[in-house]
Chain A
Amino acid sequence: MADIAHADAHHDEHESTGIDSRKLGMWVFLSSEFFFFGALISNYMLFKGRDFAYETIMPRELYDIPFTSISSFVLLMSSLTMVLAHNALAEGDQNRTRTWLLATAMLGMVFIGGQYFEFTEFILEGMTLTSNPAASAFFMLTGFHGGHVFLGIVMLLSLYGISRRNGQLSEAQGLNLELVGLYWHFVDIIWIVIFTIVYLIP
């Protein structure tokens, strides 16, 4: 009886809002990330159209829109594979969950690889982190986004490794998959904004 009471108290402690505390915590964290990326995007907007007294290469002169469009498509499709992994786990299909988790991580790696290629091209063309404030803002914004994608890949591969080792994802680990999924989709929506504001709008 005491155990039941303890379990109820524990349950209330975590779900007084009716939402699992960890899930609510993730939503609050993602909400705070809007401030972070909002500042970086604003910083880029502040410098992107400015003229500088010295000769320098601006990010806009180097953008490869077809290439970045494909990268954006890859990241969008990784959101599909992520939600399919979540759906497969909800249906209790562990094999399909692992397949989609791995697919999501691989699509994330393709995106990161594309970003590495883009950065390398820009640097070879003469635009570095210190070339001008617009270049700094560009590298900071897209670099931090890439860092978020990298962290997401690490979490996805961790879940994949746990699933492989244990043969399945437990109910608690299922929640972890949902949280990683929320984070991954958030990284995707931030890229939707970056792709439009940084690359497509003059």
Chain B
Amino acid sequence: MADHEHIPHPTPRQYVQIAVLLAVLTAVEVGLFYLEEGVEQIGTSITAPALIVLAFIKFAIVVGYYMHIRYEKPLVSRFFATGFIAALVLYAAVILAMLFSSNIL
């Protein structure tokens, strides 16, 4: 049997600590939004990638700890990751279409 089945689930106290972390990350995201609004020189070159990284961290925390994917069999992760990656490919295709065609529609 895989080891992940023996990993103990977080305690209620740890769930609350995770929620506090998620709230702090959200506050940082909003702070970055206003930083970009206030300091135009920074532009989107720093804030957009930083916001995407922060969103991904929040996403991974919720999936890993609240959806308990860390404690599931690898098959579950594979199914879930397949959909997520496919959606990312779709999203990337749209971005590329936008970059290479200004009159796509």
* Interface residue ranges, A against B (CB under 8 Å): 17-19, 24, 27-28, 30-35, 37-39, 41-42, 45-46, 50, 65-66, 69, 72-73, 76-77, 79-80, 82-84, 87, 90, 133, 181-182, 185-186, 188-189, 192-193, 195-197, 199-202
Contacts and interface: CB of A to CB of B under 8 A. Distances in A.
B40 to A, nearest CB: 11
Given A19-B76, A65-B30, A69-B30, A84 B12 contact: yes
A76 B15 contact: no
Interface in B1-60: 9, 12, 15-16, 18-19, 22-23, 26, 29-30, 32-34, 36, 44, 47-48, 51-52, 54-55, 58-59
Interface string B90-105: 1101110110000011
A195 B93 CA distance: 21
Contacts of B88: 38
Contacts of A199: 33
Q: Chain B, interface size: which category?
A: 35 or more
A50 to B, nearest CB: 8
- The binding surface of chain B is classed by DSSP as helix
A196 B67 contact: no
Contact of B23 (A28, A73, A83): A73
Nearest to A33: B83
30 contacts: A17-B73, A19-B75, A31-B79, A31-B83, A35-B90, A38-B86, A38-B88, A45-B91, A46-B94, A46-B97, A46-B105, A50-B105, A73-B23, A76-B19, A79-B22, A79-B62, A80-B18, A80-B66, A84-B12, A185-B62, A185-B66, A185-B67, A186-B67, A192-B62, A193-B55, A196-B51, A196-B54, A200-B32, A202-B36, A202-B48
CB-CB nearest 9 A-B residue pairs: A31-B83, A38-B87, A34-B87, A42-B94, A196-B55, A34-B83, A80-B19, A185-B67, A200-B33
A195 B94 CA distance: 19
- The binding surface of chain A is classed by DSSP as helix
Given A82-B66, A185-B62, A201-B48, A87 B79 contact: no
Contacts, number: 130
Contact of A192 (B15, B47, B55, B97): B55
